Amino acid sequence: MRRFSWFNATSLTVGFVFLYLPMIILVIYSFNESRLVTVWAGFSTKWYAELMQNTAFLDAAWITVKVGFWSSTLATILGTMAAYVMVRGGRFFGRTLFSGMVYAPLVMPEVITGLSLLLFFIAIDLDRGVLTIVLAHTTFSMCYVSVVVSSRLVSFDKSLEEAALDLGCTPFDAFRSVTLPIIAPSVIAGWLLAFTLSLDDLVIASFASGPSSTTLPIKIFSAVRLGVTPEINALSTIMIGIVTVGVITASLVMKRNVARQKADEVRAAQG
Amino acid sequence: MRRFTLIAIPYLWLFALFLVPFLIVVRISFSYYELSIPPYGPQLDLSTGWDGVKAFFAELNWENYAFLTGDDLYWKAYLSSLKIALIATFFTLLVGFPIAYAMAKAAEEWRPMLMMLIILPFWTSFLIRVYAWIGILGTEGYLNQLLLGIGLIDAPLTILNTNVAVYIGIVYTYLPFMVLPIYAALEKMDDSLLEAAEDLGCTRTQAFWLVTAPLAKSGIIAGCFLVFIPSLGEFVIPSLLGGSDTLMIGKVLWEEFFSNRDWPVASTVAVILLLILIIPIILFQRNEQKQRETDG
């Protein structure tokens, strides 16, 4: 505490005001009576009511959630497999290429990922729609999942797995009853990350979507290009609210589980 | 057999949906624009056998690359993307370092809470975070209202639709990427090192430059790359906050594809962007590796 000076307190305050004030303003003005977004004209929830009438937004939201669910579930399965292969897979043909392909999408600009997938879908004559967005999102978010999961796989004690194998488990059983419970928090974190990335993505979805599969970010982007509207403020507020509640709940649950698991591991190690 | 399947499934997925699509981009970048479906040529015609393959390769050419290097617009777009990304990275460091430093110096029981406050915006929609600034920076926006209200300025400032707005957007959205690695580096620092430096006659400023800065170096480098690399190809921020004269390559690629429908040129723009990005990506990985070695 000796060095926690006024300077530090100021940087934290200014920093967090900078991070949160824009969103707080957005939330406040979503309750503004006036259509003019910069003039305060009294409290009202009418933009929320109007938003609920807007079927175009509701349809887009439904498509987005569907895409998010399927792509993050697929990405979690594939990403966990990829992480396991990289950490425990040993040597195999094309390993360098494999880890290159896992890491490259993380640094690839979204416009390039989007463009290449679109050209690919056209080349194989696959009609663009929900399916192509799911495929596109799965591909880039599985890489994020595998990074999250492999960092956990690296840090946990391999001898626990070996013990299970010695005691007669098949590799699959050992994975299911020993490895999976231990890496579960990171798998869940990976799923949440993949889901958020999918919900959030504008660029790749714009390339991969067809006319009948407009996602929420695409819809928001085309509305926002014309300027600030109270409906979008209301929609943003709902999204910010969901994320805040979600992240806080998830981190509380995770904290409890991690603590419990650490205790279990220690107990197991002490035997 | 199980091991083979386990490796094959993610391998084939990435091969089919990452590598092959990218190779298609490379192939189209060597093609020419044509009014047909698909709108580029040559097409590989296997019905004529080996001659078809030969004719196909004979028609692929470097023309798009020559066009891009010869045309002012593209050069300027690459240069201005680099410039914008560099300046924005510098400002992100300027804003992010004091936050990371203060977090590392905060009492231990506060740190998880502060971490969460830094990460929380990252989970919130990127698009919405950029959108929030449109209302703030506009001519009639909240910032101008405030500044006019307190009498600091007489006429509203033009910030929205300029490069300044793009810098603000990048700093705002990428701040967590800068803060977290620096915080991770500083958190491990032992305070007694600073005390030792001061005991040995350093002033606080000297101690900062001689002890804190070198220890934070790898975190600073990592943070800078994590901001620089994605902001170079950024599309959303320049198209929402930037003006018509804000040239960024992500936007150029988007327009080349969606407005001009010139697939070969869009593909060439993509390949060159990736070639430019390879250097910072390799430097970033080296830094990470060095960090792992010193840690391990």
Predicted confidence (pLDDT) per residue in A137-173, tens digit: 999 999 999 999 998 888 877 788 888 888 888 878 8
User: Searching chain A, which residue's CA lies closest to the CA of residue B109?
Assistant: A1
**Nearest-CB residue to B127 (from A9, A78, A221):** A221
Closest Cα in chain B, distance from residue A152 (Å): 15
**Residue B32: strand pairing partners:** B41
The stretch A23-43 carries a mean pLDDT of 86
Instruction: Calculate how close chain B gets to A268, using CA atoms only, in Å.
Output: 25
For residue A108, pLDDT over 80 is answered with yes
Q: Which residues of A touch B267 (CB under 8 A)?
A: 115, 119
Q: What per-residue confidence (pLDDT) applies to B163?
A: 92
- Give the C-alpha separation, B40 to B247, whole Å: 26
Interchain proximity B135–A37, CB inside 8 Å: yes
- All domains in chain B, ordered by first residue: 18-61 (no CATH), 72-295 (1.10.3720.10)
- Position of tokens 């960024």? B248
Nearest by Cα to B214 from B231, B232, B193: B193
Rounded to whole angstroms, what are the CA distances from A71 to A46, A184, B11, B63, B88?
34, 19, 17, 38, 32
Residues in chain A within 8 Å Cβ distance of B107? 1, 4
Contact B99 A136 (CB under 8 A): no
Residue A1 pLDDT > 60, yes or no?
Answer: no
Task: Using CB atoms, pick whichever of B7, B114, B132 lies closest to residue A26.
Answer: B132
Given a contact cutoff of 8 angstroms between Cβ atoms, the answer to whether B42 and B31 are in contact is yes
CB A225 to CB B240 under 8 A? Answer: yes
Q: How far is B147 from chain A (nearest CA, A)?
A: 14
Amino acid B31 reads: S
pLDDT at A3 over 60: no
* pLDDT beneath 70: ranges in chain B: 1, 46, 296
pLDDT at A64 (0 to 100): 94
What is the Cα–Cα distance from B157 to B145, expressed in whole angstroms? 10
Asked if B233 and A110 come within 8 Å (Cβ–Cβ), the reply is yes
CA distance A246 to chain B (A): 10
**B20 to A199: CB separation less than 8 angstroms, yes or no:** no
Kindly determine whether residue B233 and residue A82, on different chains, have CB atoms separated by under 8 Å. Answer: no
Most confident of A54-58, A256-260, B84-88: B84-88
Which 127-186 residues of chain B touch chain A by CB within 8 A? 127-129, 131-136, 138, 140-142, 145, 172, 175
Q: How many Å lie between the alpha carbon of B188 and the closest alpha carbon of chain A?
A: 15
- What is the pLDDT, as a whole number, of residue A176? 84
Torsion angles phi and psi, residue B41, rounded to 5: -145, 170
What local confidence, expressed as pLDDT, does residue A61 receive?
92
Q: Which residues of B touch A136 (CB under 8 A)?
A: 17
The pLDDT value recorded for residue A117 is: 95
Domains defined along chain A, listed by start: 65-215 (1.10.3720.10)
pTM assigned to the model: 0.89
pLDDT in tens, B134-189: 989 988 888 988 888 888 888 888 888 899 999 999 999 999 999 999 999 998 88
Helix (H/G/I), strand (E/B), else coil: B262: coil
Q: Which of A216, A231, A236 has its CA nearest to residue A47?
A: A231
Nearest C-alpha in B relative to A2: B105
pLDDT of residue B284: 87
SS3 (DSSP) at B9: helix
Q: For residue A226, what are the β-bridge partners?
A: none
Mean pLDDT, chain A, whole residue set? 88
The interface residues of chain B toward chain A in range 63-82, judged by CB-CB distance below 8 A, are none
Chain B hits for A85, CB-CB cut-off 8 Å, are 6-7, 10-11
